[in-house]
Amino acid sequence: MSFQRLPRFDEEISLRKASSSASARQCSPCSSRSLPDQGNRGRLRRVPFLEDARLQDAKRIAQLQQESIEALKRTEQLNTRTQTVQDTTVRQERNLTELREVVAQLRAPSASSSTASSWRWKRSSARLPSGLSP
């Protein structure tokens, strides 16, 4: 089985071949000029140094990224601890306020039995911090 050649494609193929050969003729003088001379050889010798510097820079960047991740984790842990301390401080302040009210009621002259009975009720319902007994 063979394919018929189309004259339109034959014409286009010949034009592309001509264009390609013309481009090759124009590029050939450029390629001979790009051969390294003494000045270019000195520049080429410095390239390994630049490659080593680039590798060291990449390693340092990776190290700094890892350190920043670790610092972020430590910061998040400190934020959690700070929140816990703040919650404890608020709870302690609330307990201290309740204790001050109890002390104030104890120091106040108890002229009536209603004050004493209300104190007993508050005393029994008040939560005392651990280590303190009523």
* Cα four-point dihedral sign 49, 50, 55, 57: positive
Report pLDDT for 118.
54
Sorting pLDDT into bands at 50, 70 and 90, what band is 108?
Answer: confident
Q: Are 122 and 105 in contact (CB under 8 A)?
A: yes
pLDDT, one tens digit per residue, over 65-100 is 999 999 999 999 999 999 999 999 999 999 999 999
Reported pTM: 0.37
Q: Are 126 and 98 in contact (CB under 8 A)?
A: yes
pLDDT at 117 over 90: no
Average pLDDT estimate for 91-113: 85
> What angle, 0 to 180 degrees and rounded to 10, lies between the N-to-C axes of helices 113-125 and 38-107?
150
**What are the boundaries of each domain within the chain?**
47-108
pLDDT, one tens digit per residue, over 40-63 is 666 666 677 778 888 999 999 999
Q: What percent of the chain has pLDDT over 70?
A: 62
The closest alpha carbon to 102, from 134, 70, 56, 74, belongs to 134
